Chains A and B, each alone.
Chain A
Amino acid sequence: MAMKTQRREIYGLMAEFGTPDDILEAARKASASGYVKLDAYTPFPMEELTDALRLKHTKLSLFVLCCGIAGCLTGFFMQYFSATTDYPLNIGGRPLNSWPQWIPITFEMTILFSALGTFIGVFFRNGLPRPVHPVFNVDRFEHASRDKFFLCIESSDPKFDAQETRAFLQSLRPEQIHAVPF
């Protein structure tokens, strides 16, 4: 019972590190010891963390490809429809479907749709905008955008236990450990 209360009380435990090497090492050890609900917070992107934390690789590029194809077809057929069906102009008997002239706009529409897809895709999948999040409740967390590196093991992790997890984080030799309240 005591453990269950603990689970509801805090969002997780967070260890603070001073260098990228330390957090990378810590992330590898935490995944290796079987923690799955964990996340790292760093002031700049560290590609190595994706594999260290065993995160799923993003499918953003596939989504963007679909957006691009949609834009390409929209661009082309908008012009095709306009020139051949809705507003045909007979200019000296030249073919109505003058497709080489559709290419620039088709291209621009492809780029436009893909770029919008990228923008919407990345922020939607990241669950942003989200101004309120438990990790912000840690006072030291403002250093996550400055010079410190944080590893957070969430209380929803099946292996999470307030004492054991704290002891485990201590073994990673962090600079500090913070409890993350809701």
Chain B
Amino acid sequence: MSGSGKDLILRHSNASRIAHWAVAIVFIDLFLSGLALFSPFFFWLSNVLGGGSLMRFLHPIAGVALVVLFYPYAAMLMGDNRWLPNDSKWVKHMAAYMRKEHPDIGETHKYNAGQKMMFWSMVPIIAVLAVTGVLLWQPWFAPHFSAGARRAAGLIHAICAFVMFVGIGIHVYAALWTKGSIDAMIRGTVTRAWARFHHPAWERDAGGKGGR
């Protein structure tokens, strides 16, 4: 452990932060327009998303944007999200972690097991949303599929969207809860003390030069 706790070290590169916020903006449009299409209770959201027709037109295009932005970003982060033996230990102590009881959960690398679960749940869910979304995409793709296939796609799409919302909800809350992480995603840096506390193995191995 070298350097003062106040040193700033790079946690998220420029590319990583830009990709993250681009994905976030696209997700917000997709989520709100999806909600408007899912329930009449939220149809008023169409008024702030360009009106019903335009909102509906943009939703699948935003979906393509999500796929195009998310998967290269995910490929960039994949190495740091490999599941390690230590991660299972983290999961076992997750409840205590959430109570801030600082259980002994070993050395955390760049991402803790919670972050890794978030990562690995989004990878297949966005794929399923994309595939079912193509089946529903009017007027270009949907006409090639039967009504029954499109009904099934609609239901699966809705279920996955809610799983995604829950995942992203937890992600946003975890970021709000863990002080310093939102700053890190905006400016890219964390203090050495933050790195040592939350991700000691990353701080030690990367020495603060492993921002990806």
Whether both chains belong to one complex is answered with: no
